[in-house]
Structure formats: C-alpha cells, structure tokens
Amino acid sequence: MKRKLPLLICTLFLMLITGCKTSKEYLERSNEYKALLDAVKQLGKNNDDEKAIAAIPVLYKQVSENKLKQIEDLNASPDISRYDKILKLYNELQDSYDAIINTPAAFRLVSPVSYATQIFETKQAAADAYYDLGKEELKKPDRKDTKKAFQYFAKTETYIPDYKDAKSLKEQAYDMAVVHVQINPIRDYSYFSNQNWNNGLSYSNDYFQRSLVRDLNNLNQNYYPSKFYTNWDANLNNVPVDYNVDFEVRNIIMPYSPTDYRYKVNRNTQIEIGKDTSGHPVYRTVYATINITRSTMIARADMDVLIRDDTYGQTFRRKTFREEYRWQTERATYTGDSRALNTSDWDMINSTFHQPQRDYLLEELYKKLYPQVKNYLTDAVGW
C-alpha cells in the first residue's frame, strides 16, 4: 500500500499537468465568454474532448465571477444607459447557462445558474426608469425636451412592449416635438435648364423630390420626430414649415456625342484541317484582326443641398455632392479568318450601337446622387 500511494500522487499530478496543457487553447483566449461557448460546442460534438473537459469548469467560473462583478459596478452607476450594458451581461450569462444544460457532457461538469429572473427584473427596472424620465421631459415646454421624451418613451417600449401608456405618451411627445420639413423641387442653374431636352424620365426633378419625401418619412417616423412634405403638399395643407430643403444643380457636363477610342487586337488559333497517313489530326494556325471602337460618354454634375431654418430665415447647413456617370460600349469589325475569333469577339461584332440620350445620362446621374442626398437628410433630422 505504501508503494501505491506515491504512484497515485504522481498520476494525479500528471493528470493535472495534462489538463492544464490541453485546456490552454481555450484558457488563453482574451474573450472568455466566447471561449466557453466554443468549448461547450466542441464537447457537444465530441464527449471525450479533453481540452474542452478541462476548460469548461474554469471558464464558467471566470465568466460568472467577472460578469457579475461588472453588473454590480454598473448597478452603482447613475447613468441611465447602464441598463443596456447590464442586460447584455445577463444575456451572456443566460446564453452560457442554456448552452451548458443543452449539452449533457458539459452539464456533468458544472452546475450553471439561470438568470431569467434577473433579465426580467432588469427589463422592468429599465422600463420604469425610462418611462419616468419621459414623463419628466414631457412636462417641459421646449421642443428639445419633448424630443427627449419621445426618445425615452420609445426606449421604454424596447424593454417592455405596451408598457403602461408609453405608446400614447410617445405619440403625444412626437406631436409636440415634430419638425415639419419642406422638400423643394430641384433648381437647375446649368446651361441645360433651357434646352428642353429632358423628357421627364423616372428620375426627373419631380420624381426626385417626391421620392425623397416618401423615403424620408418611412425611414424617420420610428426614430426621430420629423415629417417631410413637397412644397405643394405643405401649401395645400397649410403646414407650419420649420425647415426648407433646397436643391441646386450646377456645373452639368452632358456630352452631345461619345468619345471614340480605336484599337486593334490580333487573334490566332489552331484548327484541324485533316489527318495524316497515320490518322493523326493535322493543324493549321489561322489569324484575324479585331478592329475595336470603344465609345465613352461621361456626364457630371454638382448638386448643392441647402437646409434653411424658416424660424430664423437662414441657411444653417449646406453640402455639395459631386457625381459622375460613365457610359461605355465597344463594337468591332474584323479582317482575316473568322475561325480565329472567340465568343467575346463575336459579341462586339454583332452588337448594335445605340447612343444614349442626354436625359438618360441625367437619370443615371440622379440615381447616383439620390442615396447620398437621402442619407445626408436622414442624418440631419436631429435638428
């Protein structure tokens, strides 16, 4: 028995050393939470994975202790944003719990704790806090305060949908804080404004204006208290406009005809022309020259976006967007043996040349300008 005791101690020591080495892959990661989930996932695939078996108890202890300490510190903070951070931590603890109890091999190693109750209580506390802040801001007369109230009530609903009367109070705050923005038609100060060549395609001035009104209203109704109108709708409904958005197109470069660049490409290939006396194929090289014409039209324009404050009668934001649309096509003829040509050569040879009209080029310019202008105005609605 005396001989067996040192042997047993040595065996246990070796197991400990081996376990530390095998778990090193998981324990040395900077993100212990992710390492824990990966180890549990691996153990679900292979119940005998030594690295995962050694790492899971250590990682779960570290994850639990560290995240609970962070939650304790956050609970001592007066910052209202602490609730989002606390919920994130509790959700990660709960994810760890769910992963372990759904993996029998991992469940045998540790006894995880469920944080479902804490998650529910944190959501309730967060909804209470944001709701109370919203009611306080709603009592104040300034628009910036009612805007805060709108945001607080909206935040309340992210924690608990249909919380008390948060929805109706949010609507009330929205009506008190809403900014009415008039989107005016594009004004063209270029040479082309008097040329009558624009046939009113889908991205004409009128469509550009109406599309912005529609898209901005859809984007912002759930985030910022703002409503957008065309000048016609604002006048028709006697809307008390707070801001006007003007668009001025300048420096339009619209070519009348394409610029051509001509170049040649030589082709050659081997074709079978028969067989020799032994029955082997005989080849001959055939040649052709492709005469390619590359036609290019480049349209450019600047669009100034001006945001005017009607209350003070001044422009307080202005940005210029510069865009370019390049149209290009290639057509070709050939000389020599047609058998030397490839598929792309024939595509150019058989293509029909259609020069785009200038209103098409303007439409394509508008298509490139539109998302930039829309994003700019979307970001600007925090007025």
What is the residue whose two structure tokens read 């080029």?
361
Residues 199, 169 share a domain: no
Looking at residue 203, what is its pLDDT? 63
CA 313 to mean position of chain CA atoms:
36
Query: Which CATH number does the domain housing residue 257 bear?
Result: 3.30.160
Please tell me whether residues 127 and 273 are part of one structural domain: no
Q: Indicate if 185 and 168 belong to the same structural domain.
A: no
- Quick one: pLDDT at residue 192? 58
Cβ neighbours, 10 Å, residue 43: 25
Average per-residue pLDDT in the chain? 88
159 within some domain: yes
Say how many Å lie between the first and final Cα of the chain, rounded.
84
pLDDT digits (tens, 9 = 90+) for 67-98: 999 999 999 999 999 999 999 999 999 999 99
- Boundary-marking domain end, from 76, 91, 112: 112
Residues contacting residue 339 through CB under 8 Å, at least 6 positions apart: 269, 271, 286, 288
Question: What pLDDT was estimated at residue 23?
Answer: 66
Give the confidence band of 310 by pLDDT, cuts at 50, 70, 90: confident
Half-sphere exposure (Cβ direction) of 18: Cα atoms closer than 13 Å: 9
Determine, yes or no, domain membership for 117.
no
Same domain? For 29 and 104 the reply is yes
Beta-bridge mates of residue 328? 296
* Domain identity same for 151 and 185: no
| Residue 12 placed within a domain | yes
**pLDDT tens-place string over residues 135-181:** 999 999 888 899 899 999 999 999 999 999 999 999 999 888 888 99
240 assigned to some structural domain: yes
Interior angle at CA 151, CA 145 and CA 156, nearest 5: 125
Read off the pLDDT band of 182 (50, 70, 90): very high
Domain boundary among 58, 93, 112: 112
DSSP, collapsed to helix, strand or coil, labels residue 160 as coil
The answer to the question of residue 381 being in a domain is yes
Question: Is residue 275 located within the same domain as residue 301?
Answer: yes
Q: Where in the sequence is the domain holding 250, given as residue range(s)?
A: 178-383
The fraction of the chain above a pLDDT of 70, given in percent, is 89
Phi-psi region of 95 (alpha: psi -120 to 50; beta: other; left: phi over 0): alpha
Same domain flag for 169 and 188:
no
CB 269 within 8 A of CB 339: yes
Question: Are residues 157 and 76 part of one domain?
Answer: no
Q: Do 151 and 58 have their domain in common?
A: no
Q: How many structural domains does the chain have? A: 3
**Does 366 reside within a domain?**
yes
Residue 118 lies inside a defined structural domain of this protein: no
Residues 107 and 138 both lie in one domain: no
Say whether both 165 and 189 belong to one domain: no
Q: What is the pLDDT of residue 15?
A: 45
Amino acid type, 77 = S
Together in a domain, 227 and 327: yes
- C-alpha–C-alpha distance, residues 200 and 149, integer Å: 44
Residues 6+ apart with CB under 8 A from 130: 80, 152, 153, 155, 156, 159
Question: For residue 8, what pLDDT band results from cuts at 50, 70 and 90?
Answer: very low
Tell me the per-residue pLDDT of 228-281, one tens digit each, with 9 for 90 and over.
999 999 999 999 998 999 999 888 888 889 999 999 999 999 999 898 888 899
